[in-house]
């Protein structure tokens, strides 16, 4: 029984020990060579995480946890376009950057703080933004010539600036590959063409110089050869003449010795000697003449060779000057074209800036004003069209009413004329009577605004005394006389118009006593004068 308990305890202890071993093995983490093991939590000190590369560590449960940062290189494509250089020329610099998590302790901690558990694409986007900004900054500090020619300086600045910035997030710069550098205005292409033209011109100049040196050497060699041949020919001729002279002298001596032995042949001997001497002198003169001719010919050939060589050298110099002038002209043309391209690019940039800063707001304001004006004009047109339609409808309605009134009046006039068929003069009279209220109303309007309290007519009935002693008529009688006097013109006017006046206006009769035969209005007898005596009833 006791042995069983002991065995049970031993088995339980062995089981617990096995669990502890398994737990320890499970929590003991090893770091692969292509990763960085980041242990975070309570790692001691003031650190937020502890980075381990190429080793192992024990992760305490509940207090610590772990994760990995991969060290594989990350390739980032940078399609940089339109970056502004120091001389305000926009360049395109497509490039490829290779970065990766650094194994430096400080940089590993930066990566653990900023990149842990991020996807590779997110890391690539962060690094791409940083690289784009630094690359534009580097390009802004260099001119287009420095970027194109001093690639070492350009790459050094890129490595320095980009590496310093991406180190802040725990990355290091592995490689930079600038694929190509172009610009929108074609300035780099113009620089390349100018360099190619300069190289071609230098090569042409060097070839011309070598041709000139070859032609000059050949002319000098020909001249020396001609002079040497002439000298040797003259020396050979001189030797031949000297040998002939010696031979002739020896023969003369032998003949003189023979003649000296013979007395009778003395005269012949002297003649022979004289002849021999003359022949010798003539031969010598001929030899000297031939020598001088040959020497002069040699000198002429030498001078001719020198002149030919000088002409060749002068022609070569002229060609060289022409080539240099052409090269200088092409260089000036290329420089002028490059300057023109720069000025055009600067003008386009300035126009774009002005268009963005000044013209664009003005264009927007102009469009807004045009739209508002068109809307106002359309509103005015529609209102005018509506007013015109309303006015037209009003006038059409009025015209229709007037037409119907006129038609009604015409029917009335027609019926009136038909009713007065037996006496047509009655119709105008009736029409005038119909218009009398309107005429009276118009006359009343002339005095309707006069404020008259009362009208008093004071007439004594006695007229004023005249010069002949008679008594004239009073004011009332003058009024009636004037009224009666106006009746004849009224009757004449009515007669001319074919209108018969009413009987209340009286009639005009023919006056028999009137010699001119004109009609006179009927004048009633004057009224008896009113009595002013107080006894009158």
**Is pTM beyond 0.75 here?**
no
Residues 272 and 220 in one domain: yes
Per-residue pLDDT for 125 more than 80? Answer: yes
Q: Which of 74-83, 170-179, 220-229, 410-419 has the lowest mean pLDDT?
A: 410-419
For residues 149 and 45, state if they share a domain: no
**Residue 471 pLDDT greater than 80, yes or no:** no
Listed residue (494, 514, 373) closest to 431, CA to CA: 494
Confidence of residue 475 (pLDDT cuts 50, 70, 90): low
Element (H, E) at 190: helix 187-260
Same domain, 102 and 132: yes
| Sign of the four-CA dihedral 526, 532, 535, 537 | positive
For 56-65, how does the pLDDT look when each residue is reduced to its tens digit (9 = 90+)? 888 878 788 8
Indicate whether 99 pLDDT > 90.
yes
Per-residue pLDDT at 514: 47
For the cut 70, the answer to whether the pLDDT of residue 488 exceeds it is: no
Work out the mean pLDDT of the chain and round it to a whole number.
Answer: 77
pLDDT in the model for residue 512:
41
Please write the tens of the pLDDT for every residue from 151-162. Answer: 888 888 988 999
Residue 155 and residue 48 in one domain: no
From 315, 341, 371, the end of a domain falls on: 371
Show the tokens assigned to 372: 């508002």
Examine the domain organization and report whether 122 and 52 are in the same domain. no
- The number of residues in the chain equals 537
Residue 412 burial (10 A CB sphere; 0-12, 13-18, 19+): exposed
pLDDT higher than 70, residue 477: no
Element (DSSP H or E) covering residue 519: strand 519-521
Taking the C-alpha atoms of residue 35 and residue 52, their distance in angstroms, rounded to an integer, is 9
Tell me, what's the pLDDT at 467?
Answer: 54
**Domain termination site, one of 42, 68, 94:** 68
**What would the pLDDT profile of 276-327 be if each residue is shown by its tens digit?**
788 888 888 888 888 888 887 777 777 777 788 778 788 878 888 888 888 8
Domain count, the chain: 3
* Pick from 60-64, 359-363, 488-492: least confident: 488-492
537: in domain? no
Sign of CA pseudo-dihedral 288, 289, 295, 299:
positive
CA dist., res. 166 & res. 104, Å (int): 13
* Residues 134 and 50 occupy one common structural domain: no
DSSP label at 423?
A: -
Are residues 290 and 180 part of one domain?
Answer: no
Contact 111, 68 (CB under 8 A): no
Average pLDDT over every residue of 201-207: 79
Tell whether 21 is covered by a domain.
Answer: no
- Taking residues 61-84, report their average pLDDT: 87
Q: Count Cβ atoms below 10 Å from residue 295 Cβ, excluding itself.
A: 15
Residue 355 falls inside a structural domain: yes
pLDDT at residue 180 is higher than 70? yes
The pLDDT score that the predictor gives to residue 368 is 84
Residue 357 contacts by C-beta under 8 Å, 6 or more apart in sequence? Answer: none
SS3 81: strand
457 has a pLDDT exceeding 60: no
Pick from 82, 78, 77, 79: which is nearest to 140 by CA? 82
- Span 332-345, average pLDDT: 85
Judge if 226 and 323 occupy the same domain. yes
Pairing of strands 90-101, 182-183: antiparallel
- Single out the residue in 137, 164, 184 at which a domain terminates: 184
At residue 534, the pLDDT reads: 39
In a domain, 511, yes or no: no
Q: Is residue 3 predicted with pLDDT exceeding 70?
A: yes
Q: What is the CATH classification number for the domain harbouring 152?
A: 3.30.479.30
Is 381 inside any structural domain?
A: no
In a domain, 33, yes or no: yes
pLDDT at 429 over 90: no
User: Are 41 and 173 contained in the same domain?
Assistant: no
Structure confidence by residue, pLDDT tens digits, 343-353? 888 888 888 77
- Cα dihedral 229/234/235/239 (nearest 10): 140
pLDDT of residue 198: 75
Q: Residue 322 domain-assigned?
A: yes
CB 39 within 8 A of CB 52: yes
| pLDDT for the residue numbered 515 | 46
Percentage of the chain surpassing pLDDT 70? 76
Q: Estimate to the nearest angstrom the gap between the alpha carbon of 388 and the chain centroid.
A: 48
Same domain as 271, residue 123: no
416/401 Cα distance (integer angstroms):
22
Bridging pattern class, strands 74-84 and 35-41? unpaired
Which two three-digit tokens encode residue 87?
């001389």
Structure tokens at 464: 């004023």
In percent, the amount of the chain with pLDDT more than 90 equals: 7
Note whether 218 and 313 are same-domain residues. Answer: yes
Residue with tokens 């007519």: 457
173 vs 408: which has the higher pLDDT = 173
Q: Per-residue pLDDT tens for 502-525? A: 665 566 665 544 444 455 544 454
Instruction: Report the relative pairing of strands 49-52 and 35-41 from DSSP bridges.
Output: antiparallel
- Cα–Cα dist 314/216, whole Å: 10
Comparison of pLDDT for 45 and 463, the residue scoring more? 45
pLDDT in tens, 8-36: 788 777 778 878 777 777 778 888 888 88
388 pLDDT tier (thresholds 50, 70, 90): confident
Point out the least confidently predicted range of 135-139, 223-227, 342-346, 413-417.
413-417
195 to 148, 205, 327, 331, 335: CA distances (angstroms)? 12, 15, 12, 9, 11
Q: Return the residue matching tokens 């004594």.
A: 460
Which of the given ranges, 166-180, 193-207, 496-510, has the highest pLDDT on average? 166-180
CA atoms within 13 A on the CB side of 73: 10
Range of the domain at 131: 72-184
Residue 455 has pLDDT above 60, yes or no: no
Tell the burial category of 384 from Cβ atoms under 10 Å away from its Cβ (0-12, 13-18, 19+).
exposed
Q: Which residues are paired to 90 by β-bridges?
A: 84
Output the pLDDT for position 218: 79
Identify the residue with better confidence: 224 or 23: 224
Confidence category of residue 74, pLDDT binned at 50, 70, 90: very high
228 domain-assigned: yes
Domain match, 216 and 129 both: no
- Between CA 289 and CA 301 the distance in angstroms is 18
| Residue that is written with structure tokens 């304001």 in the block | 365
């Amino acid at each position: 029984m006791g042995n069983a308990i002991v065995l049970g305890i031993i088995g339980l202890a062995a089981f617990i020990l096995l669990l502890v071993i398994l737990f320890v093995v499970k929590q003991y983490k090893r770091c692969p060579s292509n990763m960085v093991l980041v242990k975070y939590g309570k790692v001691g000190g003031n650190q937020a995480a502890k980075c381990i590369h190429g080793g192992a560590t024990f992760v305490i449960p509940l207090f610590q946890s772990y994760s990995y940062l991969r060290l594989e290189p990350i390739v980032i494509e940078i399609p940089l376009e339109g970056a502004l250089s120091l001389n305000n020329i926009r360049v395109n610099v497509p490039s490829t950057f290779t970065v990766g998590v650094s194994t430096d302790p400080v940089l590993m901690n930066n990566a653990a703080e900023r990149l842990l558990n991020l996807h590779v694409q997110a890391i690539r986007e962060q690094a791409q933004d940083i690289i784009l900004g630094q690359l534009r900054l580097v390009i802004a500090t260099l001119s287009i010539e420095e970027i194109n020619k001093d690639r070492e300086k350009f790459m050094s600045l890129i490595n320095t600036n980009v590496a310093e910035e991406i180190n802040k997030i725990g990355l290091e710069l592995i490689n930079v590959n600038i694929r190509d550098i172009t610009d929108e205005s074609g300035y780099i292409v113009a620089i390349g063409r100018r360099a190619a033209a300069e190289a071609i011109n230098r090569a042409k100049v060097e070839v011309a110089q070598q041709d000139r040196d070859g032609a000059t050497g050949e002319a000098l060699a020909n001249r020396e050869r001609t002079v040497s041949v002439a000298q040797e020919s003259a020396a050979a001729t001189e030797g031949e003449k000297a040998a002939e002279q010696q031979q002739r002298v020896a023969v003369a001596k032998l003949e003189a010795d023979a003649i000296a032995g013979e007395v009778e042949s003395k005269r012949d001997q002297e003649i022979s000697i004289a002849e021999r001497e003359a022949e010798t002198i003539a031969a010598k003169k001929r030899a000297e003449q031939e020598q001088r001719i040959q020497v002069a010919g040699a000198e002429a050939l030498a001078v001719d060779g020198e002149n030919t060589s000088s002409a060749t050298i002068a022609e070569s110099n002229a060609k060289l000057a022409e080539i240099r002038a052409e090269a200088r002209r092409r260089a000036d043309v290329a420089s002028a074209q490059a300057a023109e391209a720069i000025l055009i690019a600067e003008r386009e940039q300035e126009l774009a800036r002005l268009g963005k800063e000044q013209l664009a707001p003005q264009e927007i304001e102009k469009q807004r004003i045009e739209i508002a004006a068109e809307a106002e004009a359309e509103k005015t047109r529609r209102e005018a069209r509506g007013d015109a339609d309303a006015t037209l409808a009003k006038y059409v309605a009025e015209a229709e009413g007037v037409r119907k009134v006129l038609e009604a009046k015409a029917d009335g006039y027609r019926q009136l004329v038909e009713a007065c068929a037996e006496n047509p003069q009655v119709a105008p009279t009736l029409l005038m009577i119909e218009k009398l209220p309107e005429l009276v109303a118009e006359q009343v309007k002339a005095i309707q605004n006069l404020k008259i309290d009362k009208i008093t007519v004071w007439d004594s009935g006695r007229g004023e005394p005249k010069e002949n002693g008679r008594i004239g008529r009073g004011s009332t009688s003058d009024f009636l006389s004037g009224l009666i006097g106006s009746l004849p013109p009224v009757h004449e006017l009515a007669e001319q118009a074919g209108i018969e006046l009413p009987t209340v206006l009286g009639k005009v009769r023919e006056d028999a006593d009137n010699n001119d035969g004109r009609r006179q209005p009927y004048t009633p007898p004057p009224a008896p004068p009113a009595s002013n005596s107080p006894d009158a009833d």
